[in-house]
Amino acid sequence: MSLTKWNIVGQAKFVGLQNFIDLFRDTNFTRSLVNTLYFMFLTVPALVIGGLLIAMLVDQSLKGRVVTRTLVFMPYVIMSTVVGVIWLWILDARFGILNYYLSFLGIRPIAWLSSVNWAMPAVAIATIWWTIGFNMILFLAGLQDIPNELKEAARIDGASSWQVFWSITFPLLSPTMIVVVMLTLINTFQVFAQVYVMTGGGPAMATLTVVQYMYVQSFQYYRLGYGSAIAYVVFIFLIAFILLERKLLKRSGDLN
């Protein structure tokens, strides 16, 4: 289909690689790709580092850790469209609760979703809140697979908490870290629903992502051939992430 010109009705016309040639001349596609990479820059470090820190916190023998795990993971079971609606309310420029509480700090109301500068960070905040619980669960599973005897032996030898983490926990957690990073990269590169609900790609295409642009071309402009060409670009990126993950896992000795 990516080698054809087809608008659903009628016969598809074979055009060879013309869709791909047009794609890399398309400034809107370039903009969507840059926006997607910017979104990944905003979310991936926070989701990975934040997920690890929360997992280490709830892995401690502290009162209420089960409740904390549940509360952190709970947003992940909410549908992405519902997440978008919830954060539309929270980030509303006039009546949103975020601006309401920021006003106590002397910060003037921010037009989160209608500002070119703030729209993508706002979507990133919603995404982090929504998905960080999944990374927490993966890291928690990895942490609980590390034998406590190794940590206790290091502490008996006089190792500090940081030394225990850096010399024992982090190396043994590296396979989990690789999986979490790659899953986060793959998921954030395919961001669509929350952007579609919260901003629709605006303002001024500031939040237009690759998958949303594929949707617009395919199902709003009915350029299915062109949309399929965009889908192949997404596919190539995802395959690259997966191959990198396999290479890193083999290097860490966790994959035959």
Tens of pLDDT, residues 200-239: 999 999 999 999 999 999 999 999 999 999 999 999 999 9
Per-residue confidence (pLDDT) for residue 255, from 0 to 100: 54
As a whole number of angstroms, the distance between CA 91 and CA 46 comes to 20
As a whole number of angstroms, the distance between CA 47 and CA 126 comes to 12
Q: Does 7 reside within a domain?
A: no
Average of pLDDT values for 240-245? 89
Q: Does 214 reside within a domain?
A: yes
What is the domain count for the chain? Answer: 1
As a whole number of angstroms, the distance between CA 197 and CA 24 comes to 27
Q: Does 94 reside within a domain?
A: yes
Q: Does 3 reside within a domain?
A: no
Q: Which residues contact 110 (CB under 8 A, 6 or more apart)?
A: 93, 99, 102, 118
Average of pLDDT values for 82-107? 92
CA-to-CA separations, 151 to 53, 55, 71, 169, in angstroms, rounded: 18, 17, 28, 8
CB 109 within 8 A of CB 117: no
| Structural domain boundaries, residue 216 | 18-252
Q: 52-66 pLDDT, tens per residue?
A: 999 999 988 878 888
- The residue ranges of DSSP E strands in the chain, in sequence order, are 4-7, 9-14
Q: Which two tokens stand for residue 218?
A: 């395919």
As a whole number of angstroms, the distance between CA 193 and CA 79 comes to 9
Per-residue confidence (pLDDT) for residue 143, from 0 to 100: 92
pLDDT higher than threshold 50 for residue 256? no
| pLDDT over 70, % of the chain | 98
Instruction: Tell me the torsion sign for CA atoms 196, 22, 206, 124.
Output: positive
Average of pLDDT values for 71-100? 92
Under the banding of pLDDT at 50, 70 and 90, the label for residue 180 is very high
Per-chain mean pLDDT for the chain: 91
Q: Does 66 reside within a domain?
A: yes
Per-residue confidence (pLDDT) for residue 254, from 0 to 100: 58
Give 178-211 as a DSSP string: HHHHHHHHHHHHT--HHHHHHTTT-STTTT--HH
Average of pLDDT values for 131-158? 90
Residue 178's CB is within 10 A of a number of other CB atoms, namely 20
Between 9 and 200, name the one with better pLDDT. 200
| Residue 229 amino acid letter | A
pLDDT higher than threshold 80 for residue 252? no
Whether a cis peptide bond, with omega within 30° of 0, leads into 175 is: no
pLDDT higher than threshold 70 for residue 20? yes
Q: Does 99 reside within a domain?
A: yes
Q: Does 159 reside within a domain?
A: yes
Under the banding of pLDDT at 50, 70 and 90, the label for residue 196 is very high
pLDDT higher than threshold 90 for residue 89? yes
Per-residue confidence (pLDDT) for residue 64, from 0 to 100: 81
CATH of the domain at 235: 1.10.3720.10
Q: Does 167 reside within a domain?
A: yes
CB 198 within 8 A of CB 39: no
Q: Which residues contact 239 (CB under 8 A, 6 or more apart)?
A: none
